[in-house]
């Protein structure tokens, strides 16, 4: 459980003391999560203005890096999925030498690739559902290895985009073939029947465990961002010892992937055995009205504005350990060409 004292203290700031700090909120991106990212960006931007920052909201894509021309002191990254969450943008910002929010390029790249992340979790002794990666050349020999029902998903995507639960052998193969047409490969993962849990990590500590309940087959894109009847529960009928174990393993997963500042860890609790199975770690979880890390932070006394403030504080502390240069926009052409 997150401490109310020390480094993870849940004490909302009255106001930002350094009103001269220029913060650029980066949102948008090129992928399927673009609209969600823009909403996250708008929400974060509004919070930073309330906190007194000189905040600017900028749309950014790989083909339009003009947002990096603006003189700024800090980048708050609100891009989900491709470009923003896979380490690409973080690498460019490292080259600029300007501090930014969240995990660095290596951890972002690792966490975004579900198979690589699961291998790292396995190596750290963190339970994750059995899985295979299938490509065109091995689909017939590999597609049915984990059995069914199975979850078939893209290897590097978020927000459950193009994810399905396949309940027969033919459905597994059909879903995998469909993903390979679009992405070239697919992840097939053993389906765990039971409560769907998510755990926010802030600093070095786990926030309260949240159970997600939806009327849909699973917590898909519609349930995440569009449905008003999706339930997010914190008062759970799950033994305290199990919840604490889930929090401990979630924080361990965050560290195992090299993540920093904050993340959201997704987990399934086996309904028959109560054993937790960890699915993935999201390095830039959502900042919308439906988003789960803000909901969990509120349970320990951090409202949305205070959460954004804490992310900035932790990120500045992290990146103050290496030299940085305030971005005057003069190096855009160099990073754009890299």
225 flagged as catalytic:
yes
All residues at 6 or more sequence positions from 191 whose CB lies less than 8 Å from its CB, including other chains: 129, 148, 149, 150, 151, 165
pLDDT digits (tens, 9 = 90+) for 215-267: 665 555 555 555 567 788 999 999 999 999 999 999 999 999 999 999 999 99
Residue 111 to residue 40: CA distance in whole angstroms:
20
CATH superfamily, domain at 193-299:
ATP-grasp fold, B domain (3.30.470.20)
Query: From the candidates 108, 266, 310, 319, which is the catalytic residue?
Result: 266
Q: Over the chain, what is the mean pLDDT? A: 87
Query: From the candidates 282, 291, 315, 327, which is the catalytic residue?
Result: 282
pLDDT, position 8 = 36
pLDDT of residue 31 exceeding 70:
yes
Q: Where do the structural domains in the chain lie, given as residue ranges?
A: 13-102+313-337, 130-190, 193-299
pLDDT digits (tens, 9 = 90+) for 100-131: 999 999 999 999 999 999 999 999 999 999 99
277 flagged as catalytic:
no
Query: From the candidates 85, 205, 220, 280, which is the catalytic residue?
Result: 280
288 against 2, higher pLDDT = 288
For residues 58-63, give the mean pLDDT.
96
116 flagged as catalytic:
no
pLDDT, position 228 = 65
Sign of CA dihedral 255, 260, 261, 264: negative
C-beta of residue 286 within 8 angstroms of C-beta of residue 292: yes
How many other β-carbons are positioned within 10 Å of the β-carbon of residue 154?
20
pLDDT of residue 324 exceeding 80:
no
In 3D, which of 247, 185, 195 has the Cα closest to residue 218?
A: 195
Query: From the candidates 16, 37, 156, 159, which is the catalytic residue?
Result: 159
In 3D, which of 280, 245, 285, 255 has the Cα closest to residue 265?
A: 280
C-beta of residue 26 within 8 angstroms of C-beta of residue 90: no
pLDDT, position 332 = 53
All residues at 6 or more sequence positions from 311 whose CB lies less than 8 Å from its CB, including other chains: 76, 101, 102, 202, 261, 262
39 flagged as catalytic:
no
pLDDT, position 234 = 97
For the chain, what's the residue count? 338
pLDDT, position 222 = 59
C-beta of residue 89 within 8 angstroms of C-beta of residue 31: no
DSSP line for 87-117: SHHHHHHHHHT--BSS--HHHHHHHHSHHHH
How many other β-carbons are positioned within 10 Å of the β-carbon of residue 136?
12
For residues 188-202, give the mean pLDDT.
96
In 3D, which of 72, 100, 89, 120 has the Cα closest to residue 258?
A: 120
pLDDT, position 321 = 66
CATH architecture assigned to 130-190? 2-Layer Sandwich (3.30)
Backbone angles phi, psi at 308, to 5 degrees: -60, -40
Q: Which fold has domain 13-102+313-337?
A: Rossmann fold (3.40.50)
282 flagged as catalytic:
yes
pLDDT, position 92 = 96
pLDDT of residue 323 exceeding 70:
no
Query: From the candidates 173, 190, 264, 310, which is the catalytic residue?
Result: 264
113 flagged as catalytic:
no
154 against 228, higher pLDDT = 154
Query: From the candidates 286, 305, 315, 324, which is the catalytic residue?
Result: 286
Query: From the candidates 131, 219, 225, 277, which is the catalytic residue?
Result: 225
Mapping DSSP to helix (H, G, I), strand (E, B) and coil, where does residue 250 land? helix
Residue 61 to residue 30: CA distance in whole angstroms:
6
pLDDT of residue 275 exceeding 70:
yes
Sign of CA dihedral 105, 257, 275, 156: positive
Q: pLDDT confidence of 51, banded at 50, 70, 90?
A: very high
């Amino acid at each position: 459980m997150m401490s109310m004292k020390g480094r993870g203290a849940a004490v909302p700031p009255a106001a930002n003391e350094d009103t001269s700090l220029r913060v650029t909120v980066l949102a948008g991106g090129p992928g399927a999560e673009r609209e969600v990212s823009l909403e996250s960006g708008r929400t974060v931007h509004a919070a930073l203005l309330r906190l007194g920052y000189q905040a600017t909201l900028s749309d950014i894509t790989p083909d339009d890096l003009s947002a990096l021309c603006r003189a700024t002191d800090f980048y708050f990254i609100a891009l989900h999925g491709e470009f923003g969450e896979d380490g690409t943008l973080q690498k460019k910002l490292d080259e600029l030498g300007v501090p930014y929010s969240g995990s660095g390029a290596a951890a972002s790249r690792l966490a975004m690739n579900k198979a690589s992340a699961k291998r790292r979790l396995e190596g750290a002794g963190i339970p994750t559902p059995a899985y295979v990666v299938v490509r065109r050349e091995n689909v017939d020999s590999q597609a049915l290895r984990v059995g069914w029902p199975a979850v078939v998903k893209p290897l590097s995507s978020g927000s459950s985009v193009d994810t399905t639960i396949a309940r027969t052998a033919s459905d597994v193969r059909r879903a995998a073939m469909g993903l390979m047409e679009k992405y070239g490969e697919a992840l097939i993962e053993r389906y765990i029947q039971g409560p769907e849990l998510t755990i926010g990590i802030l600093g070095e500590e786990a926030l309260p465990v949240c159970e997600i309940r939806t009327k849909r087959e699973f917590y898909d894109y519609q349930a995440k961002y569009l449905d008003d009847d999706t339930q997010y529960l914190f008062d759970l009928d799950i033994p305290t010892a199990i919840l604490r174990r889930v929090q401990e393993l979630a924080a361990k997963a965050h560290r195992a992937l090299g993540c920093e500042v904050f993340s959201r860890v997704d987990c399934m609790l086996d309904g028959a055995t109560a054993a937790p199975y960890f699915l993935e770690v999201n390095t830039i979880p959502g900042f919308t009205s439906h988003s789960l890390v803000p909901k969990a932070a509120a349970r320990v006394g951090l409202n949305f504005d205070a959460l954004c403030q804490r992310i900035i504080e932790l990120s500045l502390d992290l990146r103050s350990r290496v030299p940085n240069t305030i971005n005057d926009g003069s190096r855009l052409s160099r990073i754009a060409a890299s």
